[in-house]
Amino acid sequence: MSQIHHARCIMVQGTMSGAGKSLLCTALCRIFAQDGLRVAPFKSQNMALNSYVTREGLEMGRAQVVQAQAAGVEPDVRMNPVLLKPCSDTGSQVIVRGEVRGQMPAAEYFRYKKQLIPEILEAYESLAQTCDVVVVEGAGSPAEINLKQDDIVNMGLARMINAPVLLTGDIDRGGVFAQLYGTVALLEPEERARIGGLVINKFRGDPAILAPGLAMLEEKTRLPVLGVVPFMDLDIDEEDSLAPCLEERSVHKPVDVAVIRLLRLSNFTDFTPLEAHPVLGIRYVQDVSSLGHPDFIILPGTKNTMEDLLWLRQNGLEAAIRKLAAAGTPILGVCGGYQMLGRTLQDPWGVEGGEAGRTLRGLGLLPMDTVFTRQKTRTRVQATVLQQPFAGAQLDGYEIHMGNTRGAGTPFCRLQDGTPEGCCQGQVFGTYLHGLFDTGELTVRLADWLCRRKGLTVQQAAPIDHEAYQQQQFDALAKGVREALDIQAIYRLMEEYR
């Protein structure tokens, strides 16, 4: 297979999932952009339930969206040509170049994935022609020896695009020297030769203490350690289910907001702006005992609405939520959570993974019904909230869902083209819009309303500009990583492989 020579590139691989690859790639995107280069992120195959709709109406993983935003460029589906959205323990929805290709069990996809190589390389080559540097992210670990055959995301991809590699390990969870040494030892000689340097990530403390270990690591691997990146307390969207925010069980802020942590939770980044608000304590709940009596409940999106609805029913959360709603606790459902709040959910085609024709009753808190369809809705929208106490809030979001919802309730908002969207009844609100808190206007109205309900006096705050706040976080990340890594060595490494 011919090698591709356009933009320079650097690939970040990790010793395991959660080693910090995504954040390190985000930092490099920002650093190269600060240095005046045109930068694009790339990840050939992403497995995540946090996805995004581009302006062209195509779906991609949010990790590369965040990296594109750090690079100062528009998210492009070529940056993530293959997205796997798990819909069960053994199967995923396969999305290629932003379009649904189908549902596949893991074994079937493992056999099928090599057929995607031409499309992956076409996406990469097309992207590489538009920029100076491509920052490539691997997935999991390159040393998963049972998965190395027909690899399209780690060393297999590095070979196809002739990319040098940085290998990063997470010291925060312990065993980083064994992680790095063991990973290098399990690679083939030609794969080891691609590694230009090692990076130790998420370090707390004085790096001088690591010096003897770093010297021994360099001696045993015969690879340079290019830096020790400190643990940084920054607010940048996390990629997937390993996100620390999902482990929050109690937050000491005046207003208690409980987000139901569904088994197939998707797009939890919708609530990142809420977490930044000084009075809103966002915590994630998986059982009745930890639900308690929150001031506000959010039912978020899910990759499998019907199965997660059954999970709610079986573990008692459905009954607890209905009881709280009857007592006046306000509830918001987003996307799949919105569908659950209705009267019925019908799946005539079996798109939710169960038997065709299955019907479930919903929570019955909104007067509407959902019918799942084979076609996925993917669109970016702007809207104005109609419902008090949030009326007038301007939203800029997107829809990603299977199914149509119809009902008799009051609409939640009106889309830019005049179409009513969502449903409200009393203090229960539902909408398909992801990113509904990003403009900050709905966040401010929600916080003020919840404070008034509790009798709290809250100083009227201006909406937080989520984009400006995000840019500040990117700059802080880039500063920390630039100070910790030998960036000039990375530039030299990219030149060697040009």
Give the residue numbers marked as catalytic.
335, 434
Q: Is 87 helix (H, G, I), strand (E, B) or coil?
A: coil
What φ, ψ does residue 153 adopt, rounded to 5°?
-135, -15
On whether the CB atoms of residues 274 and 282 are closer than 8 A, the answer is: yes
What is d(CA 172, CA 149) in angstroms, rounded to the nearest whole number?
A: 31
What φ, ψ does residue 173 adopt, rounded to 5°?
-90, 0
What is d(CA 214, CA 217) in angstroms, rounded to the nearest whole number?
A: 5
| DSSP 8-state secondary structure symbol assigned to residue 237 | -
Partners of residue 410 on adjacent β-strands: 424
What φ, ψ does residue 171 adopt, rounded to 5°?
-80, -20
The amino acid at residue 59 is E
End-to-end CA distance of the chain: 17
Closest CA relative to residue 372, chosen from 447, 304, 451:
304
On whether the CB atoms of residues 431 and 298 are closer than 8 A, the answer is: no
**CA Rg value for the chain:** 23
Residue 323 CB partners (closer than 8 Å, separation 6+): none
Tokens of 350: 């079996």
